[in-house]
Structure formats: C-alpha cells, structure tokens
Structure 1
Amino acid sequence: MKNRPAIYLLALAFSIFNLTALTAQERNIPERILPVPETVSSELKAMIAAGSAPFWNDHPASAQEWKAWVNELASQVIKELPALREAMKVKVTQATIADVKVFIVTPDEIAPENANRVLLHFHGGGYVLNPGEAATSEAIMVAGHSRIKVISVDYRMPPDFPYPAAMDDALAVYRQLVTQNEPARIGVFGTSTGGGMALALIHRIKTEGLLLPGAVAAGTPWSDLTKTGDSYYSNDTVDNVLVRYEGWLGDAAKLYANGHDLKDPQLSPVYGDFSVFPPTILVSGTRDLFLSNTVRVHRKLRNANISSDLIVFEGMSHAQYLFDANMPEAKEFLTEVDGFFNRHLKK
C-alpha cells in the first residue's frame, strides 16, 4: 500500500466513505455547547439564554389532569392581555359565528386599504392549549399592527372534543364568512397548530367546493403530527420552547387525533394536495423544532408553482416572534405578514 500513488489512496478513502454513507441510517453527533448567537436582537438573546420552557415535559394522564394543566397555563397568558390590547390599540369582543365561539379583534382605526378585508385566525397550542381569551394574543398583534379586523376562532379542543371538532369549527366559520365577504378579501393565518389548521382548512375548502381565500400566513405550522422531518431530530433539545416531540407535544398529537391516522391531511396537511392553493407565507427559525414542517410545506407549494414566501429567523426557537411584541424579530414578522396580505388580498 505504501507504494500506491496518493491519488489512489484518496479515491479508496472516498469509496469507503461513500459506502458507509449509503448504508448508515444514523449519525452520532458529539455532545456540544451551543452559544447564544451574536446575530440576534438582545430580546431574543435573553429568550435563548433563558433555557427550556418549564412545562415542556409535563404528561397529563387523564382528562381531568389535561384540563387543569391547560387552565393553569391559560391563566398566565390572560394576565398579559390587557397591556397587549392597550399597546396594540385594539378592542376584543366575544361573539358566535355559525354556532362557534369567536373573538372579534378590532383596531381603533382600520387602515383604508383594509376597509373591506378581514382576517381569520387560528391560535396555537398543540390543539390543547390556549382556550378562550388566551387564544387571542397573536390576533391582537396582527390586528393592531396591520390595522385590520381579525376574527379569532375559539375552536373546540380535546380531551372533550378531539378531531375533527377543531376543523369542523374552522370550516363552519369560514363558510359563514364567505356569505358576507368576498373570498378574495379574506386572509387566513395562525401559528403552530394555528398554522397547521390554516393549511388544513384550505384542503377542506377544496373538498367542500368552496371558493378559496385570498392568501394564507402559516407561522411555523404543525403540518406533520408524526415525528417526520429532519428538524424533529436536529433541533431536538435545541428548541427551548417545544424542546422534544417526546414531551407534552407528542401526547397532544395522539389525544387530538383520537385514533385517526396522523398522516391524514386534515391532521398533517403537508401530506395534502397543494396543486391549487392561495399565495402563502411561511415563518420559522433556525432552532425551531418545526423548521422541517415549514420547509417541507414550502417545497410542496413551490413544486406546485404556488406563490410562497419563506421567512426563517436566526437563532429562533418555535414561535418566539410572538413572545414579545416589541422585539425586533416580532416587528419584522408583523411587517412581513402585513405586506404579504396587502399584496395578495383584494382591496
């Protein structure tokens, strides 16, 4: 071997490497320390340095435990809402549309270009979190920033109301909206579960033969309830919000699905048909457990020749652009969504 030309040894090394790469199913990643990136805002740096959400690995074992857990977390969110409503200059009222509970978020002043437009919002929370008023924070931020009316759907959730209750509520509200508003003037949006529901609603609308809305904004959508996609693994424990699929998140997927196939497009819309779809903007972060969920939807849309924007924030874990309305990344998110809807919704 020592008399072999160097080029021969190099070729042999590449051959062995390629053979290993073709047969190996896993890679062993060395333990490492991830620094707080210098390339993000000071507000986001603080979120990254704060570590994981304390409740990520909670596992409620009964319907009663799920309800108590959800209500405790919701009470913490609700405390922050009066200040947020005041800062964003909006009013929130409860109502029902098609027998579904909703919150109507109205800015003190509606922008002239949005006089005939309305946005339909679905909240995040793994299909189990943020009932009632706790569901409205993202709707408040978008309504206030864009000065547009937002209808936030307080859809039914498990353990009392598993799939398909949430999607039935989503469709019922949309069906009523299109009797009063031109579909091209309706935008649909949400983050996490809400982003997944926005995508799944489009699939459902097509099945029902209804006219499509003008545009969709899906923030870090839970588009695949199974543990499929690279970032479920590569960002495992890197994301300090969701942290791991094996925490409460995986339990919530099974609780909501209630025995249905998790790859049903109404549960995991990434598996649906994107050949006819409204223009869509997608948002994620480099540390987001759902980064692959977001990227895979973007590729499905692009491959179907659908107009789709993808925004990926540096260093950001799951949905952290909603954690502080004053954070530069939050303002960027709101500006991107506002601009997208303004370009694609009919005036």
Structure 2
Amino acid sequence: MSVLATIAQQPGRKENAAPEVNSFSVDQQGTVRITRVVPVPETISPEAQKRLRLPEKDLSTDFAERRAATDSWQTRAGKESLTAYPAKVGSMTIAGVPVRNVTPLDHSPIHPDWVLLNVHGGGFTSDSGSLTKSVPIANIMHVRVVSVLYRLAPEHPFPAAVDDTVAVYREHLKSYKPTHIALYGTSAGAILTAETAVHLKQLNVPLPAALGIFSGMGDFSQPGDSQAMYGLRDLASDVPLPGPGQKNSDYVSSINPRDPVLSPLYADLHGMPPTLFITSGRDMLLSGTTILHRAFLRNGVDARLVVFEALDHTFWNDISLPETKETYALICDFFSGQLTR
C-alpha cells in the first residue's frame, strides 16, 4: 500500500488551510490520502519542542546557491561547535585526499593509538558535517578525528566518494591497527560509511573496529516509507509525491541502483563490525536506517539501534538540544567500548 499524506500544520508553523480534523481515504490502487493534526509532543525536551515549532526555511532551487548556503552554514555551525566543544582543527592531505584533522586542544589524545574517521553528510553534493560531526566527538572522547573531504557529486558521482574514503582508511592502516579505528557518518555520510565497509570487505582489507550509521539507508533502488511523510524539517517540509525508483541521480549516475556497494542492503553483510544506528521519529531516513539495521541483524552483526522521539533528520546538528548531548554521549560510549576490546 502506498501512502500520500497531507499533514495539518502545527501552531507556529506556516499558515495554511488544513482543517483541524483527522481523516483518510483509500483509492482503488491502495494509495491513502490522510489529514492528521500532529501536536508538538511533551515527551521531548522543551528545547526540542521549540525546534519543532520553528518554520521551515525556504531552500533555493539553484544548485550553486544551495551548495554555497550549506558551506556557509557549516563554517558558522563549526565555529559554534568549537565554542561548545573546544578542539584544534587543521587541514592536511592523506592519500591524495584533503581532510580536516581534529585533535584535542592539548594535542595529547588519551588514546594516541586510536583514530575515528568521519565522512560528512550533505547529499553527496556539499559538506554538511566535516566540522559539526567531528569536533564534539574529538572533544568528548579526547581523541583524534579525521574528516574526509571526499569528492562531491555531481562533478564526481559514485564511486568517487567511496574510493576517497577507502584511500584514507587504507593509509591509516599503516599507522593504526584496524581494531583501533572507527568509521562513521551522518545522512549521506551514514550511507557512505556502509558503502565503504562493504567495499573494504570486497577488497579483503581489514575492517575497522566499529561503524556509526547515523540517519542513513542502504537502498537506492526504492524510497522508504518515511520519505513519503517527512522532509528535512519533519512534517512541515515540502515532500515530493512518492514514486518508484531512486531519487539521487547526481550521485548514482548510471550505476545499477542495486549494486551491492552503492546499496549495501544487497551486499553480503556477514562479518561487518559492531555498528551503532541512530535515527529519530520524524526523520525522512527513519525507514532507511531501520531497514539497513535489520539487514545487519539478519547477517549476524552486533547492530544496535537508537530511535529518538519526534525529532527531525540529523537533529544533532543543533548543539543546544539535550537530545544532541545524549546522542554524542551514546556515540562516544559506543566507540570507546569497541576500540578498547
């Protein structure tokens, strides 16, 4: 059954004419058209409740403008992260790939033989996380975090990002034991984390000690159910009508969407490292994250899933939320537990 949802807006959202009623109808094809009045839940923090009441920002339809806006946000948000979680950020090149090298302020990690590799989000077309997803973890764990600035689509479609991440990982194997390396990412970076792990296995390269797949998915051949209901900013976002086929042609290009590296759901996942999955109740990739988590479980992997109540896609970008602090505590505890084995 396919679902086409019309959601009544909450108080404080954009003005519209949605009726204050719950209703549904089902056509002969099984498509459900619904109206739901969804209040801001009291099961989340006051700060998170405030976040859900914020109106969605209009996104430019021009690609160059969107990339520039994302870059500007990452610079600004990165400075905010460094204020809340002080760390040292440098730039370098590893295996021909530019990276951000994030270390504790005193340059003396508690575990100098550990390294975490972060692959940022941004739809594979921009940098949405090389700072914001590495600085807090470097500060909390007091370890070195390397953010891979992989080549971006559409100029460099799949498998360029995978190849760059594999190259950086293999270079680190010259200085670090695989049991002392973790690989993680958010959104596109979460997808890339799984893709890289699958390709490393294909290449018979020792896998890292742990993976972090935070709001991702593993199947470009079909959208998950949550993508028909939620956008970047949960229920209040504009969401395209659901339809068959993959949606990220900039990244996928002409590759078979069921290629096992591109879409790890179709790969042999036996032997994957312990993996932490994180998503949230109004995440557009809620379905994708949980489907891939189940695939890991079916293949005998130590795969753990945390679903936060109500919040939107990659809500941990907002460092002011108590839920964000909880997220980073979960991530750091998980990696610390795996790398000390």
Question: Into which bin does the TM-score normalised by the smaller protein fall?
Answer: 0.7 to 0.9
**Distance in structure 2 (CA, Å) of the matches to 1:321 and 1:29:** 31
Structure 1 residue 25 displacement after superposition: 5.3
1:118–1:186 contact (8 Å) kept in structure 2: yes
2:233–2:313 contact (8 Å) kept in structure 1: no
Q: 1:170 to 1:237 in 2, by over 3 A?
A: closer
Identity across matched positions, percent: 30
Secondary structure in structure 2 of the residue aligned to 1:276: coil
1:291 equivalent in structure 2 = 286
**Distance in structure 2 (CA, Å) of the matches to 1:33 and 1:52:** 18
Gaps of 5+ in 2: 1-25
1:111–1:146 contact (8 Å) kept in structure 2: no
Q: 1:215 to 1:287 in 2, by over 3 A?
A: same
Structure 1 residue 278 displacement after superposition: 0.1
Pairwise mapping of residues 1-347 of structure 1 onto structure 2 (< 5 A)? 26-55=30-59, 58-60=60-62, 66-109=63-106, 114-130=111-127, 135-235=130-230, 239-240=234-235, 244=239, 253-322=248-317, 324-346=318-340
1:14 equivalent in structure 2 = none
Secondary structure in structure 2 of the residue aligned to 1:309: strand
1:242–1:318 contact (8 Å) kept in structure 2: no
Greater relative contact order, per chain length (Cα 8 Å cut-off, separation 6+)? 1
2:232–2:312 contact (8 Å) kept in structure 1: no
Query: Could you tell which deviates more after superposition, 153-162 or 106-115?
Result: 106-115
Give the counterpart letter for 2:87 in structure 1.
V
**Distance in structure 2 (CA, Å) of the matches to 1:258 and 1:194:** 18
- Under a length normalisation based on structure 1, what TM-score does the superposition of the two structures give? 0.83
| Structure with the largest fraction of helix | 1
Secondary structure in structure 1 of the residue aligned to 2:310: coil
- Under a length normalisation based on structure 2, what TM-score does the superposition of the two structures give? 0.84
Secondary structure in structure 1 of the residue aligned to 2:311: coil
The structure whose Rg is larger is 1
Q: Could you give the per-residue CA deviations for residues 237-293 of structure 1, whole angstroms, max 9, x where no partner exists?
A: 87258753669xx99710111221222232222222211100000000011110111
Q: Could you give the per-residue CA deviations for residues 138-192 of structure 1, whole angstroms, max 9, x where no partner exists?
A: 1112111222110000000022211211111011001101111000000001100
Structure 1 residue 32 displacement after superposition: 1.6
Q: 1:242 to 1:74 in 2, by over 3 A?
A: farther
| Structure with the largest fraction of strand | 2
Query: Could you tell which deviates more after superposition, 96-105 or 270-279?
Result: 270-279
1:241–1:318 contact (8 Å) kept in structure 2: no
Gaps of 5+ in 1: 1-20, 61-65
CA RMSD, aligned part only?
Answer: 2.6
**Distance in structure 2 (CA, Å) of the matches to 1:153 and 1:237:** 23
